[in-house]
Amino acid sequence: MIFAPVGIAHLTRDNTDLLRAAACGKQRLRVTTAAQLNGTPHIGTVVTVLSVFAVASHAVDILNLPATVIFDALDNAPAEQVEIDGEVYTRTVGDLIDSGHIDRADRVSGFERLLRWAADRSQVRYEFRPYSIYQALPPVRTCLHIMASRLDDFRPIVAPADGIIRIRPRCPECRLMEKSAKNLSINAGDGVVHLDSLCPVHGRYAETIDISGTDGWYDANTPVRSIQKGFLLAAEGELYQACSVSVDGADWGGAWHAHVLAPALATLGIPAAEWPVSVFTPLLLDRSGGKLSKTLYVRYGAAYADLPEAFLNLDVLLDQYGDDALDAIWTEVTRWAAEPSRLHRSYTVDYLADLIRTPANAPALDRRSV
C-alpha cells in the first residue's frame, strides 16, 4: 500500500488528535451516524458502520472516556413513489411499515445484526434511534423553528438550486408527501411551526409542529436534517457533558461540509468551539472511481462494476463468508481508526475483496474481467 501525502494526515499523529480539544473536560463521547433504511446494508454501509464503532472504540482507549454510538435509522427515506397528474408523491419506509405494506424485519434486521456484531466486538454500546424519535427531540425542533423563522437566510444553503426548503408534512389521510414541495408553505409561530401542503386526493391539509412538545411529524430532507443534527450535537455537548462526534462517509465531507453544514452552523450562530467534531470514513469505490452505490447496482445489475452479489447484500455476504468477512473488515477499519494516513483516503472494492478470506465452500471473490 502506498499512501499519498494529504494535508490533514500531516497535522495529526493519531486520528484521536482531532477529538482531543473537544473532549477536554467532558465526561463521555457520543458518536453519531445515520443510514437510510432502504434495504439490506451493502458492503459500503457495512464498512462505514464498522468504522464508526472502530473510531469510537479507539477514542475510548486513547481518551479514557466511555462512549455510546447513536445510530439514526432514517425510516423517513422514500419507499414508494406515486405519480399523479405529472407530480411525484412519496410514502416513507416508516409509513409503509405502519400500513403493513413492507416488513419491518426486511428493513431493520440487517442493520440490527450489524450493529449487534459491532457493539459486541468493540465493547461500545449503541442506541438505535428511529427518525420519528429524532424529529421530535427538543434541540432538533428548536433548530426547525429557527430555520422556519429565517427561511431566506437558509434558502441558499439548503436549496441552492430552487430555493424551496423541504420541511414536508404528509397527508393525514393517505400519507402521500409531495416530492417537489411546490405547494408547501412553512410559517413559524409562537412555539410552533405550521406546515401547509396539498394532497392530490384529499386536498389541502395542515400540520402543526409543537416546538416544546412531541406533537406533529415532518420530513426534513437531507440538508435540513444534516443542519438539525449539527445543532443537536452542539446542544448535547452541554446537555450530556459530552464530546459530540459525527462519523460519516467521506461524501459528507468536502463540498457538503463546505457549502451546507459549515455555513449553516455559522448562520445559526453556534461558536466554532461548540461545533460537533466531524470524522469522515474512507469511501469504498467501484472500478470507475465512483462511490459504490447499491442504487446503481439495482438499476444496471451485474454489469455495474462487475461486483459479486455478496458485496451488495450483507445477508449474502454473511451466508457465503460467515463472520470471517466481518472479522476481516474489522481488522482493517481498526487501522483506519488509528492511523491518519489510512483514514484520509479511499479504497477500491477490489482492495476489500482481497481482505475477505475465501472459505473453501464459498465462491471466490476474485477479480473478474471488466
The only residue of 10, 13, 116, 202 in contact with Zn ion, by rule CB under 5 A:
202
Q: Which is nearer to Zn ion, 81 or 123 (CB)?
A: 81
Least distance CB 238 / Zn ion (angstroms): 41
Stretch that binds Zn ion, among 70-78, 200-208, 213-221, 348-356 (CB under 5 A): 200-208
Least distance CB 176 / Zn ion (angstroms): 5
What single DSSP character describes residue 258?
I
Is 140 in contact with 134 (CB distance < 8 Å)? yes
Q: Which is nearer to Zn ion, 16 or 76 (CB)?
A: 76
Least distance CB 92 / Zn ion (angstroms): 14
Least distance CB 217 / Zn ion (angstroms): 15
Least distance CB 187 / Zn ion (angstroms): 21
Work out the burial of residue 82: count CB atoms within 10 Å of its CB; fewer than 13 is exposed, 13-18 middle, 19 or more buried: middle
Per-position x/- string for 270-299, each x denoting binding to Zn ion as judged by CB under 5 A, each - no binding: ------------------------------
**Number of other CB atoms surrounding residue 312 within 10 Å:** 23
Stretch that binds Zn ion, among 197-205, 266-274, 319-327, 357-365 (CB under 5 A): 197-205
Q: Which is nearer to Zn ion, 169 or 237 (CB)?
A: 169
Is 292 in contact with 348 (CB distance < 8 Å)? no
Q: Which residues contact 231 (CB under 8 A, 6 or more apart)?
A: 139, 140, 142, 143, 146, 265, 268, 270
Least distance CB 209 / Zn ion (angstroms): 19
Q: Which is nearer to Zn ion, 172 or 359 (CB)?
A: 172
Least distance CB 171 / Zn ion (angstroms): 3
- Please, what's the b/e burial string for 225-259 (b: 16 or more CB within 10 A of its CB; e: otherwise)? bbbbbbbbbbbbbeeeebbbbbbbbbebbeebbee
Is 157 in contact with 223 (CB distance < 8 Å)? yes
Q: Which is nearer to Zn ion, 137 or 174 (CB)?
A: 174
CA distance linking residue 310 with residue 305, whole number of Å: 13
Least distance CB 203 / Zn ion (angstroms): 8
Backbone angles phi, psi at 286, to 5 degrees: -80, 180
Per-position x/- string for 155-194, each x denoting binding to Zn ion as judged by CB under 5 A, each - no binding: ----------------x-xx--------------------
Per-position x/- string for 123-162, each x denoting binding to Zn ion as judged by CB under 5 A, each - no binding: ----------------------------------------
Q: Rounded to the nearest 5 degrees, what angle is found at the Cα of 47, between the Cα atoms of 115 and 64?
A: 65
Total residues in contact with Zn ion, by rule CB under 5 A: 6
Q: Which is nearer to Zn ion, 199 or 233 (CB)?
A: 199
Q: Which is nearer to Zn ion, 62 or 174 (CB)?
A: 174
Least distance CB 197 / Zn ion (angstroms): 10
Q: Rounded to the nearest 5 degrees, what angle is found at the Cα of 111, between the Cα atoms of 108 and 113?
A: 105
Binding status of residue 11 toward Zn ion by CB under 5 A = no
Give the DSSP H/E element, type plus range, for residue 281.
strand 277-281
Q: Which is nearer to Zn ion, 31 or 199 (CB)?
A: 199
Q: Which is nearer to Zn ion, 63 or 171 (CB)?
A: 171
CA distance linking residue 345 with residue 103, whole number of Å: 37
Q: Which is nearer to Zn ion, 203 or 269 (CB)?
A: 203
The only residue of 6, 21, 88, 201 in contact with Zn ion, by rule CB under 5 A:
201
Amino acid at 122: S
Q: How many residues does the chain have?
A: 370
The only residue of 96, 199, 242, 362 in contact with Zn ion, by rule CB under 5 A:
199
CA distance linking residue 260 with residue 166, whole number of Å: 14
Three-class SS state of 366: coil
CA distance linking residue 54 with residue 31, whole number of Å: 11
Backbone angles phi, psi at 321, to 5 degrees: -120, -5
- What residues between 209 and 228 interact with Zn ion by CB under 5 A? none
Instruction: List contacts with Zn ion (CB under 5 A).
Output: 171, 173-174, 199, 201-202
